[in-house]
Amino acid sequence: MPLEHSRIRTFEDYQDAYRRSVENPEQFWADVAEPFTWRRKWSSVLKADLVVGRNEWYGGAKLNITENCLDRHLASRGNKLALIWEPNDPKTRQIRYTYRELHQQVCQFANVLLNNGVEKGDRVCLYMPMIPQLAIAVLACARIGAVHSVIFAGFSSTAIADRVNDAQASVVLTSDGLNRGPKQIPVKRVVDEALESCPSVRRVIVVEHLGWPVHMQEGRDVWYHEEALEAAKTCPAEEMDAEDMLFILYTSGSTGKPKGVVHTTAGYMVWADYTFRNVFQVEENDIYWCTADIGWVTGHSYLLYGPLLNGATTLMFEGVPTYPDAGRFWEVIDKHGVTVFYTAPTAIRSLMATPLDNVLSYSLDSLRILGSVGEPINEEAWHWYHTHVGKERCPVIDTWWQTETGGIMISALAGVSPTKPAHAGQPLPGVQPVLLSQEGQEIEGNDQEGYLAIKAPWPGIIRTTYGDHERAKQTYFGPYPGYYFTGDGARRDENGLYRIIGRVDDVINVSGHRFGTAEIENAINQNPNVVESAVVGYPHDVKGQGIYAFVICREGACDTATDKPHVEASIIETVVAEIGKIAKPDKIQLVSGLPKTRSGKIMRRILRKVAEGETSNIGDVTTLLDPAVVDEIINGRK
């Protein structure tokens, strides 16, 4: 598969591709899809319906995505490195797999799944560390047509159970434990706890990683390494329909319960492949490193599928940016000769806060392209990244997209189209963004701001929310019929470059992780001391947004000064147990009431102002049931 296929090399190429993708999308996406391995070609390229949110790509086609990620490369790239694994502890062993070796590993894992009764269409949940077997297991699911649903290994047992039950998964893949910097976490124990309330699960396959003893439940749990002894290293790929489900990935929205975003096989594949090649301008000899965890969509599309579809060498890192010290990212880049590096603003900001020597003591000569994803990158972080990491030599691309979009939507193409600090830039071919007014009118022209929506389907568009299409319809296609609604606000500058401002719904973005405010409130309300809570985001130097919780306690629970710290600590414990450490509130303010309108609606606008410290300019409070509560909240601000 040539890296030259449907390749944009110059700005003129981009303009030409963009124009063709809008004028005749079906022809355009048929051409892009041509060189993949198809068992059968499509009968129609696109069936679109942006009103009910049913969009189908490459209908009638048959394929398997792993044949496109692996088998297809064996003849020309069999001995090329596919996966480099860098362990948490730099002194321990790296692992490297060529395309041929990765193919064998995936086939062997696929056989273990088959031998354990996994069938096409079954849902398999993965709760695993960032070790090669996670990547292998994901591909093994795809090989046999099982639907993978990766759960980030920082979620709590309650959060796992919610996801496993929603997906009705029959099999869970996990490991004995995981390393995260200096800490070790007993992952299997967390899974065991979760599965106490997951009746659909009949098999747990455990990958040995730390060598820890774990409880193995008779009849349910098996060790991967024991199962693998019997498993062949070849495995024919299951033939899938273009619109068969490839994976479910749970993500937070403005309602309390995370939803299972569904992506299907062919459209997702074409989108991950095309966007990866063109945004990162990948060349045959690149060593590409995306620091995202496979538990998030970035890890799916740009650590795993995008790079492997293109026959690139992808690096997978088990650890964290600050272990053993805050130079770890840069050490890994020098050690492996990384050429393309893709990370999140929160990581950059946390490293910026450490002594500059941590980065200046590495050469970083190999780098040629830098990417950012997950949240708006502020100008200061952009400049630091550009100057100290990229040595003003590497383009910095700010890639905007979402779990629901499958792949990058708005971004500069590295070295091809213009970059501007804190701006994602121009839409990729196939992406037709618009700015809408609150009433749903398209806002024309440049130098404008509005709600960001997309007015035509692209191959990677969300297909449904698992088990509940109505929810997908209402969330994404309902607000402005005929458009996919992103939930983000954006500004188009005088040259037509897009700047993403942030969420306009009740979603907050903490270190690039999405949470619904209602989701965190639901968790807090589980605490027996709590009557009611309201959560808002506020600007945070490192995390982008922090979590600020206003909480009303049960009478008598926090009357004395000594009660308060106990109650706050127990609220944090509850959130950690319900969701995970990543959702821990940064600030908790115990209040006697919340600012509610006479109809009982919490006025979050006021709470956001308080959390942001904008208390001199709180606005009109006369419609409140009890305006006095606002003064109390302002005075008690954390």
Residue closest to 140 by CA, chosen among 120, 113, 168, 122: 113
Report the sign of the C-alpha dihedral through residues 480, 486, 490, 495, in that order.
negative
User: Two tokens at 295?
Assistant: 């538990």
Is the Cβ of residue 459 or residue 487 nearer to ligand WTA in the bound state?
Answer: 487
CB of 288 to ligand WTA, least distance (A): 17
CB of 43 to ligand WTA, least distance (A): 32
> Any contact of residue 403 with ligand WTA (CB under 6 A)?
yes
CB of 487 to ligand WTA, least distance (A): 6
Place of tokens 């405010």: 517
> Any contact of residue 402 with ligand WTA (CB under 6 A)?
yes
Choice from 503, 543, 584, 609 touching ligand WTA (CB under 6 A):
503
Report the relative pairing of strands 484-492 and 498-503 from DSSP bridges: antiparallel
- Which range binds ligand WTA by CB under 6 A, 226-234, 275-283, 483-491, 515-523? 483-491
Give 558's contacts (C-beta < 8 A, 6+ positions apart): 529, 564, 566, 567, 590
Choice from 177, 376, 427, 457 touching ligand WTA (CB under 6 A):
376
* Per-residue x/- track, 285-304, ligand WTA (CB under 6 A): -----------xxx------
Question: Do the Cβ atoms of 539 and 566 come closer than 8 Å?
Answer: no
Give 504's contacts (C-beta < 8 A, 6+ positions apart): 451, 487, 488, 489
DSSP string across 230-255:
T--S--PPPPEETTSEEEEEEE--SS
- Which range binds ligand WTA by CB under 6 A, 202-210, 237-245, 356-364, 401-409? 401-409
Calculate the dihedral angle through the C-alpha atoms of 133, 138, 143, 146, rounding to the nearest 10 degrees: 130
> Any contact of residue 399 with ligand WTA (CB under 6 A)?
yes
Is the Cβ of residue 544 or residue 595 nearer to ligand WTA in the bound state?
Answer: 544
Burial of 372 (0-12, 13-18, 19+ CB in 10 A): buried
Residue closest to 326 by CA, chosen among 362, 296, 299, 290: 362
Choice from 133, 417, 509, 545 touching ligand WTA (CB under 6 A):
509
Report the sign of the C-alpha dihedral through residues 98, 272, 545, 581, in that order.
negative
CB of 251 to ligand WTA, least distance (A): 5
Give 478's contacts (C-beta < 8 A, 6+ positions apart): 485
Q: Which three-class secondary structure string do you get for 176-210?
A: CCEEECCEEECHHHHHHHHHCCCCCCCEEEEECCC
Place of tokens 């305006």: 627
> Any contact of residue 426 with ligand WTA (CB under 6 A)?
no
Is the Cβ of residue 184 or residue 254 nearer to ligand WTA in the bound state?
Answer: 254
> Any contact of residue 373 with ligand WTA (CB under 6 A)?
yes
> Any contact of residue 374 with ligand WTA (CB under 6 A)?
yes
Is the Cβ of residue 122 or residue 488 nearer to ligand WTA in the bound state?
Answer: 488
> Any contact of residue 514 with ligand WTA (CB under 6 A)?
yes
DSSP string across 336-392:
HT--EEEE-HHHHHHHHTS-THHHHTS--TT--EEEEESSPPPHHHHHHIIIIISTT
Is the Cβ of residue 176 or residue 398 nearer to ligand WTA in the bound state?
Answer: 398
For residue 8, the 8-state DSSP code is -
Is the Cβ of residue 334 or residue 493 nearer to ligand WTA in the bound state?
Answer: 493
- Which range binds ligand WTA by CB under 6 A, 111-119, 312-320, 352-360, 368-376? 368-376
Is the Cβ of residue 457 or residue 487 nearer to ligand WTA in the bound state?
Answer: 487
Residue closest to 201 by CA, chosen among 217, 185, 177, 189: 217
* Per-residue x/- track, 227-256, ligand WTA (CB under 6 A): ------------------------x-----
- Which range binds ligand WTA by CB under 6 A, 132-140, 154-162, 485-493, 560-568? 485-493
How many residues of this chain interact with ligand WTA, rule: CB under 6 A?
22
Element (H, E) at 464: strand 464-465
CB of 601 to ligand WTA, least distance (A): 24
Is the Cβ of residue 28 or residue 476 nearer to ligand WTA in the bound state?
Answer: 476
> Any contact of residue 134 with ligand WTA (CB under 6 A)?
no
Is the Cβ of residue 73 or residue 263 nearer to ligand WTA in the bound state?
Answer: 263
Give phi and psi for 586, each to the nearest 5: -80, -35
- Which range binds ligand WTA by CB under 6 A, 99-107, 362-370, 372-380, 440-448? 372-380
* Interacting residue ranges for ligand WTA, rule: CB under 6 A: 251, 296-298, 373-376, 398-403, 424, 486-488, 500, 503, 509, 514
